[in-house]
Structure 1
Amino acid sequence: MSRILIFAGTTEGRLLAEFLNRQKVQAYVCVATEYGGQLLEENKYLEVSHTRLNQEEMQHLIAEKKIQMTVDATHPYAAEVSANIKGACEETGCEYIRLLRSQTHISEESMVCVESVDEAVEFLKQTKGNILATTGSKELHKYTAIPEFADRIFARVLSTPEVAEHCAALGFTGKHLICMQGPFSEELNTALLKQFDARWLVTKEAGKNGGYEEKIRAARKAGARVVLVGRPVQESGLSLEEVERYLVEKAGISVRREISVIGIGMGSRENMTCEALKACQYADLLVGAGRMLEQVQELKKPVFVSYKPDEIYDYVMSHPEYEKVALLQSGDLGFYSGAKKLMEKFAGEEILVYPGISSVVYLCDRLHTAWEDVVLTSQHGRYVNLISKIRKNQKVFALMGKGSAVNELCRKMREYHMDQVILHVGQDLSYPAEKIQSGTVAELENENFSDLCVILAENPQPDQVVTHGLEDEVFLRAKVPMTKSEVRSISLSKLHLTKDSIVYDVGAGTGSISIEAALQAEDGYVYAIEKKEEAVELMRENKKKFAADNLEIVEGLAPEALEELPSPTHVFVGGSSGNLKTILELVLKKNPQVRIVINCIALETVAEALDCVKTLPVTDVDIAAVSVGKSKEIGRYHMMMGQNPVYVISCTGGKAE
């Protein structure tokens, strides 16, 4: 790796040296004063010298240390030193990199702009009032030309014995000599200007890290006018971040990063935890969606606006100058947050996690209700069978994504006769526009809701049934055929449904299988395929009665009606209209591992089914002949009445090896 030489006459130079030290890269650092050397701790990676060098001595140092890259991070006003460094690099063939302090452009009508301290002094000779001079000790002697300088001028210089002695010899003593080490805050600058009743502030355009912005704002607050000494030459070069990026690429440095994943709560600054805010303050880069970054904009940190993990990862990897990166996420990191994917992307980096206050905690506390018994879910950017969850549980909390989703939920609940449910809708939680509305679905259906909203649904009469096997009498039937309760129980057991199954019910009839499958596969979806119009209308009524919101009725004949449907995990065939084999071929093509159950009453259908399980790529074939007898009261006696025997044939896609 190339040996790097840094002339660190500025804060940026020191920060660059500290960056290389943290990355365990060896560097030789030259500072102008012994005090500058005290700010950098010498170790096995950093060799620090505070000896002033002329061009010839610089050339000797570059040759002796075998330096290949030299970074000139001297002060913008040290034009002579920069010329020597550049000349030394040219003579030795060493690469020269100019690190420039970023210029800050502040428009101020009352500002007096001059090109040098000499010109500033000439201007101040014609003025009255006290002057706070912050241009350093090197040119302080020039201010002695101002009439009554010892009474008018208050000089702020570095806090070293040599500087203090030099200034005292010029006549700056007592309260007129302020020996302090920066950086200086806006508040401190304001206090000094007011304390000394300064009418004038003399400063150089020293950029952001030189405290220039803080001085200008302080002068405005204190009612002082600014005399600005402009930069002597307009240089070309790189910013600190650009130099760090260049060195990483050129010298092959492997950057060690600290990734902080931060839950910021609902969104307002006041809602953030103290440790989350502190992590943002120490970060080099803040990343998040626009509304999240708005809450920390006063930190004046570099930002990248994005919520996409891949985009965020690519940006961070392409900006190695950012060692401490804060990734902001709304709410809490463990509650439907993008934090999981972000942590997967940045696996291998040092990851710190700062939890936040979740919207469920916030809303329940606002409502003075416990959340320990709340079922948590989200339909923001994802499908969730929210109707089923509300039907089965006393309390359900959900992230809604859009305000219109609340209106749609109310419409569905009214259609499914869930009028007993009370909804609490939280909008813009923690923001000034925060609003919480409570009411029945009828009361809230036509309200306008913010897109930043959540709900808490309270159902005083949840459905407590947890097993399949609904009685036949609870279904609306008319004259449409229906799979009877006992056979339906066996058939559903053979299907081996899971909570997220995607089910086809082919030849659905009244929809008894579809309804029970939908109630079991709460997080899945059921497609009921039926060709008869009367049966379709009956199914629609049964869907409303059982609030089976994850059931879709498809009117048509299989297999054509199946072609555009999503791939199934489970298929039940109760009627095939003679198309059993083509139906099975299609579902096996969609999902070779699909689970299949076929109910047969006619012996011809049994023969057709047996041929299918023999010739198609299926395994785990099981055939059960089910005969059910149901009692019937005849007078004072109970007589058993036999039902048609049913053959339940089940199998799974995929031939055994």
Structure 2
Amino acid sequence: MSKILIFAGTTEGRLLAEFLKRQKVPAYVCVATEYGGQLLEENSYLQVSHSRLDETQMRQLILEEGIHLTVDATHPYAVEVSANIRKACEEAGCEYIRLLRSSVQTGEEEEMVCVESVEAAVEFLKETEGNILVTTGSKELHKYTAIPAFEERVFARVLSTPEVARHCADLGFTGKHLICMQGPFSEELNTALLKQFGARWMVTKEAGKNGGYEEKIRAARNAGAKVVLIGRPVKESGLSLEEVIRTLIQKEEIQVQRKLAIVGIGMGNRDNMTVEAQKACMEADLLIGAGRMLEQIAESGKPVFVSYKPQEIYEYVMNHPEYEKIALLQSGDLGFYSGAKKLMEIFAGEEMEVYPGISSVVYLCDRLHMSWEDVVLVSQHGRYANLIGKIRKNKKVFALLGKGSMVNELCQKLTEYQMDQVVLHVGQDLSYPTEQIRTGFASELRTQSFADLCVVLLENQNPDTVVTHGMEDEAFLRAKVPMTKSEVRSISLSKLRLAKDSVVYDVGAGTGSISIEAALQAEDGYVYAIEKKEEAVTLMRENQKKFAVDNLEIVEGLAPEALESLPAPTHVFVGGSSGNMKTILELVLKKNPSVRIVINCIALETVAESLDCVKTLPVKEVDIAAVSIGKSKEIGKYHMMMGQNPVYVISCTGGEA
């Protein structure tokens, strides 16, 4: 394989060389100084030279080394060098690519003194007073000796090599006026240097993001120094580092080995992130996440992609192979209702690291000085959850909500279900400067406004701890509407074999006693109560409020027509069919061939109809129980047994026997 030649006079050039080295692509790298060569470690794929070459020597190197592609990653101000590289490539028949730093606009250019060259900067500074910090390197430092009293006024920051130090000393820059350091330089360090030397002026070039330009400008503002900006000498066209890498991947057919980091960022404030998570973001070539996350986490100058959709993220990553290290940001902790699960599935097979964060439940409970080991966790963010049912049965419930108005909706339901004893702790904008936690009863909070970024912890000091079925008949509002009595109801519910997440039809629901007990048992499921009589529907709504069953939907109508638009059931109870038993069962078996069915029959005609169904329809595990209940009644000082109507409980499961 022929080599790629890189003229690496910038950080971008070094990064490109290191990329090719990691990908085992042969490359020859030319750097301007011995120090630059020391930053790159040679191996069997990377050859480094720090010899300065003229145009002829460049052409000769291209031909001798079998170079087929050259990347010019020299400094934006190295105009003559770039011209020589371009001409050498043309004469040697070698493809030429210019790698350019992106120009930076800080918004403060109007406050600067902008000049075209070092000579122009010197002419301007001759007419000024005060100390000057020069950050343009040693190559043109001799020009600053034209400034009157430069030995006292000018402080030069240059590379920390013996050759550079000797050259600067020969020019007259010695002692504290010569600062030998290797970048990059932080904003804080730049500020400290300006203040230490009392600099009123700082001379810099617009060297792009990796050149530390932004840090210098902010430092000058912090220190009260004016900036003399030397603009780029020519307007060049070229590619960014990412674009060059993408081009080389395509041309050289490089199979890039990616490393993904799925990072839990906590509530959103960077201060809440673990050290590991922050390090993963700092080392990443690309950050991906929702806009809110990237606002807090994005590193200066680091590429970002704003998205929270797994498929969209996957497609972007696949279409941008130039990024080797990618951080996928997720709010809170990765194991708490996080999109991380889907990301792990969709990127299965990729090298992946996972960094946990602080979940909102942990954060809020800590803020409230409350333990969370006994908290029941619920999410209503983009999904249905029987939150009322959880609150009714547990002392502490934590809920993720999709938006602020959902707090108002929850308060309204708690009030309607006569659960105003429940205390709500609403956490808004947790970890942000606008963080607020409000505590109160539903009646106090239901008219207040809440931020969309909110969660709620609910405390119920008197939860319903009953777990068995067969509630007393007197617990229900009845009027004159028929009701399945307690003992028969208990047997029927046992025959149904409900699960926690069952989807139940109660056909001919009457007062709703079966529906309500089924909804209490199937806490994570849903119950549809189908009833044709208006009086019964009205009574059922009252019972729904009394027992606070939010996972119950009352459907007014006649079966089977009323069932057609409903989701497929897992369990069906038929207490009244209005003579439509067979068509009802045919429909539910079509919706779910393995549905569990229980039928209660009082009239012998209904028994005969039901027996015909279990004989002719595809069902198995048929069981028939004749139930006769006698209940005691006080007559004077005696207890007399009073018989109820006998009930036939017929149960079966869909499927061929």
2:445 and 2:225 map into 1 onto residues whose CA distance is 58
The structure-2 alpha-carbon separation of the partners of 1:202 and 1:441, relative to structure 1 and needing over 3 Å to count, comes to closer
**CA-CA distance at 1:491 after TM superposition:** 1.8
**CA-CA distance at 1:150 after TM superposition:** 3.7
Kept in 2: contact 1:571–1:595 (CA 8 A)? yes
Matched with 2:644 is 643
Matched with 2:595 is 594
Kept in 2: contact 1:2–1:251 (CA 8 A)? no
Kept in 1: contact 2:37–2:49 (CA 8 A)? yes
Range with greater deviation from structure 2 (511-520 or 338-347) = 338-347
Kept in 1: contact 2:378–2:400 (CA 8 A)? yes
2:165 and 2:575 map into 1 onto residues whose CA distance is 98
For residues 99-139 of structure 1, the C-alpha deviation after alignment (integer angstroms, 9 at most, x for no partner) is 00121234433533332223333444444444333322222
**CA-CA distance at 1:642 after TM superposition:** 3.9
Matched with 2:296 is 295
For residues 507-539 of structure 1, the C-alpha deviation after alignment (integer angstroms, 9 at most, x for no partner) is 111211111111111111111111112221221
1:53 and 1:434 map into 2 onto residues whose CA distance is 60
Matched with 2:89 is 89
Matched with 2:202 is 201
Matched with 1:510 is 511
**CA-CA distance at 1:354 after TM superposition:** 2.5
**CA-CA distance at 1:40 after TM superposition:** 0.6
Residue identity opposite 1:616 in structure 2: L
Matched with 2:167 is 166
Give the 3-state SS of the residue equivalent to 1:328 in structure 2: strand
1:37 and 1:271 map into 2 onto residues whose CA distance is 40
For residues 45-100 of structure 1, the C-alpha deviation after alignment (integer angstroms, 9 at most, x for no partner) is 32212222333333333334333322111111222222222223223333211100
1:220 and 1:463 map into 2 onto residues whose CA distance is 63
Aligned pairs (5 A) from 1:498-647 = 498-633=499-634, 638-647=639-648
For residues 634-653 of structure 1, the C-alpha deviation after alignment (integer angstroms, 9 at most, x for no partner) is 56655544433333222223
The structure-2 alpha-carbon separation of the partners of 1:208 and 1:449, relative to structure 1 and needing over 3 Å to count, comes to closer
Matched with 1:52 is 52
Kept in 2: contact 1:257–1:323 (CA 8 A)? yes
Matched with 1:23 is 23
The structure-2 alpha-carbon separation of the partners of 1:445 and 1:254, relative to structure 1 and needing over 3 Å to count, comes to same
1:606 and 1:381 map into 2 onto residues whose CA distance is 45
1:394 and 1:188 map into 2 onto residues whose CA distance is 53
Matched with 2:462 is 461
The structure-2 alpha-carbon separation of the partners of 1:626 and 1:209, relative to structure 1 and needing over 3 Å to count, comes to same
**CA-CA distance at 1:39 after TM superposition:** 0.4
Matched with 2:391 is 390
Is 2:417 the counterpart of 1:399?
no
1:64 and 1:354 map into 2 onto residues whose CA distance is 48
The structure-2 alpha-carbon separation of the partners of 1:642 and 1:451, relative to structure 1 and needing over 3 Å to count, comes to same
Give the 3-state SS of the residue equivalent to 1:255 in structure 2: coil
**CA-CA distance at 1:226 after TM superposition:** 2.9
For residues 588-636 of structure 1, the C-alpha deviation after alignment (integer angstroms, 9 at most, x for no partner) is 2222232222222233223322332333333333333333344445566
The structure-2 alpha-carbon separation of the partners of 1:534 and 1:362, relative to structure 1 and needing over 3 Å to count, comes to same
**CA-CA distance at 1:11 after TM superposition:** 0.8
Matched with 1:100 is 100
Normalising by the residue count of structure 2, what TM-score does the alignment of the two structures yield? Answer: 0.93
Is 2:307 the counterpart of 1:306?
yes
For residues 400-424 of structure 1, the C-alpha deviation after alignment (integer angstroms, 9 at most, x for no partner) is 2233222222222222222332222
Normalising by the residue count of structure 1, what TM-score does the alignment of the two structures yield? Answer: 0.93
1:371 and 1:352 map into 2 onto residues whose CA distance is 27
Matched with 2:447 is 446
Range with greater deviation from structure 2 (190-199 or 374-383) = 190-199
Give the 3-state SS of the residue equivalent to 1:187 in structure 2: helix
Range with greater deviation from structure 2 (582-591 or 317-326) = 317-326
1:352 and 1:579 map into 2 onto residues whose CA distance is 59
1:529 and 1:98 map into 2 onto residues whose CA distance is 73
1:91 and 1:67 map into 2 onto residues whose CA distance is 13
**CA-CA distance at 1:300 after TM superposition:** 4.8
Matched with 2:367 is 366
Give the 3-state SS of the residue equivalent to 2:109 in structure 1: coil
Residue identity opposite 2:56 in structure 1: E
Kept in 1: contact 2:528–2:555 (CA 8 A)? yes
Matched with 1:61 is 61
The structure-2 alpha-carbon separation of the partners of 1:233 and 1:432, relative to structure 1 and needing over 3 Å to count, comes to closer
The structure-2 alpha-carbon separation of the partners of 1:129 and 1:394, relative to structure 1 and needing over 3 Å to count, comes to closer
Is 2:79 the counterpart of 1:73?
no
1:197 and 1:632 map into 2 onto residues whose CA distance is 101
Range with greater deviation from structure 2 (150-159 or 383-392) = 150-159
The structure-2 alpha-carbon separation of the partners of 1:563 and 1:77, relative to structure 1 and needing over 3 Å to count, comes to same
1:273 and 1:49 map into 2 onto residues whose CA distance is 41
Residue identity opposite 1:59 in structure 2: R
Kept in 1: contact 2:165–2:180 (CA 8 A)? yes
Residue identity opposite 2:528 in structure 1: Y
Matched with 1:320 is 321
Kept in 1: contact 2:282–2:299 (CA 8 A)? no
Residue identity opposite 1:48 in structure 2: V
1:502 and 1:213 map into 2 onto residues whose CA distance is 60
Matched with 2:13 is 13
Residue identity opposite 1:525 in structure 2: Y
Matched with 2:428 is 427
The structure-2 alpha-carbon separation of the partners of 1:365 and 1:197, relative to structure 1 and needing over 3 Å to count, comes to closer
Residue identity opposite 2:361 in structure 1: V
Range with greater deviation from structure 2 (35-44 or 541-550) = 541-550
Matched with 1:497 is 498
Kept in 1: contact 2:209–2:301 (CA 8 A)? no
**CA-CA distance at 1:172 after TM superposition:** 3.1
Matched with 1:655 is 656
Range with greater deviation from structure 2 (378-387 or 295-304) = 295-304
Range with greater deviation from structure 2 (399-408 or 496-505) = 399-408
The structure-2 alpha-carbon separation of the partners of 1:43 and 1:428, relative to structure 1 and needing over 3 Å to count, comes to same
Give the 3-state SS of the residue equivalent to 1:425 in structure 2: strand
The structure-2 alpha-carbon separation of the partners of 1:393 and 1:128, relative to structure 1 and needing over 3 Å to count, comes to closer
Kept in 2: contact 1:71–1:98 (CA 8 A)? yes
Kept in 2: contact 1:421–1:460 (CA 8 A)? yes
The structure-2 alpha-carbon separation of the partners of 1:423 and 1:57, relative to structure 1 and needing over 3 Å to count, comes to same
1:221 and 1:395 map into 2 onto residues whose CA distance is 49
The structure-2 alpha-carbon separation of the partners of 1:7 and 1:264, relative to structure 1 and needing over 3 Å to count, comes to same
**CA-CA distance at 1:544 after TM superposition:** 1.8
Matched with 1:344 is 345
Residue identity opposite 2:591 in structure 1: K
The structure-2 alpha-carbon separation of the partners of 1:597 and 1:49, relative to structure 1 and needing over 3 Å to count, comes to same
The structure-2 alpha-carbon separation of the partners of 1:470 and 1:237, relative to structure 1 and needing over 3 Å to count, comes to same
Residue identity opposite 1:278 in structure 2: K
Residue identity opposite 2:432 in structure 1: Y
Q: CA RMSD in A?
A: 2.4
**CA-CA distance at 1:500 after TM superposition:** 1.1
1:602 and 1:160 map into 2 onto residues whose CA distance is 104
The structure-2 alpha-carbon separation of the partners of 1:118 and 1:433, relative to structure 1 and needing over 3 Å to count, comes to closer
1:519 and 1:2 map into 2 onto residues whose CA distance is 73
Kept in 2: contact 1:290–1:306 (CA 8 A)? yes
Aligned pairs (5 A) from 1:209-224 = 209-224=210-225
The structure-2 alpha-carbon separation of the partners of 1:69 and 1:508, relative to structure 1 and needing over 3 Å to count, comes to same
2:237 and 2:365 map into 1 onto residues whose CA distance is 57
Residue identity opposite 2:117 in structure 1: S
Matched with 2:285 is 284
Kept in 1: contact 2:622–2:650 (CA 8 A)? yes
1:137 and 1:15 map into 2 onto residues whose CA distance is 23
Kept in 1: contact 2:136–2:204 (CA 8 A)? yes
2:121 and 2:456 map into 1 onto residues whose CA distance is 64
**CA-CA distance at 1:38 after TM superposition:** 0.1
Kept in 2: contact 1:397–1:456 (CA 8 A)? yes
**CA-CA distance at 1:458 after TM superposition:** 1.8
Kept in 2: contact 1:281–1:299 (CA 8 A)? no
Range with greater deviation from structure 2 (139-148 or 371-380) = 139-148
